[in-house]
Amino acid sequence: MEARIRTWPKVHDDQPKLLGYAGFKAACMRIASVDDREKTPNFGKQLVSLGTVVVTPPMVIIGIRGYSKDRYGLDSLFDIYAKDLPKELSRLFKTKYDEKGIERAEKSLRHIDELFAITSVLPSRAGLEQKKPYVFEVAVKGGDIPKQFAFLKELLGKEVKIDQVFQKGADVDVAAITKGKGFEAQLQDGESKRNNTSQEKVSGLLVL
């Protein structure tokens, strides 16, 4: 299960770039800082806030997917996969390498409206016991479609690290998933209360 991203930001740049990455929550920490915002009650005082440590193992570009738009949404026109894929991917699906796939895709670029990178992350490289990898799509923006395709073709089958996608100190949006605990999470957060058991209806004997 992966987090679903419905919209991707627009990039006003001629250089294509990947807009997403994957990570695993490793720990929580406390961050001590000094409030440097003027005209605030805590200006000049020390603040303690919570932080999350995220492990970001290398991401492998295993394929390229091209979409065309119609009045119903996006339709996938082609999928291209790398020749040498990680052996762990056999737990999810099997792909057949097509030698002429890139050539046919280049001929159909005039019908393509959006390009995505099909990426894979191995949890074992983050220190987790899970062997099955995660496979998800990452949008590519910047430049025109031929530039984006050439950018992805260069990365196909290679590893991408976090510093190749995001700059140090940049602000990012995070989409995450949890294993879920039903109504238990709402009770712990104080969003709802448990009913008094004495108010529950029970079967009994009615004596007249």
Handedness of CA 117, 120, 125, 129 (dihedral sign): positive
Query: Is 5:42 a contact under the CB 8 Å cutoff?
Result: no
Q: Which helix (H) or strand (E) covers residue 148, if one does?
A: helix 145-155
Lowest mean pLDDT among 1-5, 51-55, 121-125: 1-5
Cα–Cα distance, 9 to 141 (Å, whole number): 8
pLDDT tens-place string over residues 39-98 = 899 999 999 988 889 999 999 999 999 999 988 888 999 999 988 887 888 777 777 778
Q: Residue 153, class by beta-carbon neighbours within 10 Å (0-12 exposed, 13-18 middle, 19+ buried)?
A: middle
Query: Is 161:21 a contact under the CB 8 Å cutoff?
Result: no
Lowest mean pLDDT among 24-28, 112-116, 161-165, 190-194: 190-194
pLDDT tens-place string over residues 149-182 = 999 999 998 999 999 999 888 888 888 877 666 6
Question: In 10 A of CB 35, how many CB atoms?
Answer: 13
**pTM of the complete model:** 0.77
Q: What is the pLDDT of residue 184?
A: 66
Domains, the chain, in order of start with CATH, read 1-21+57-178 (3.30.1430.10), 22-55 (no CATH)
Q: Which residue has the tokens 């050439």?
A: 150
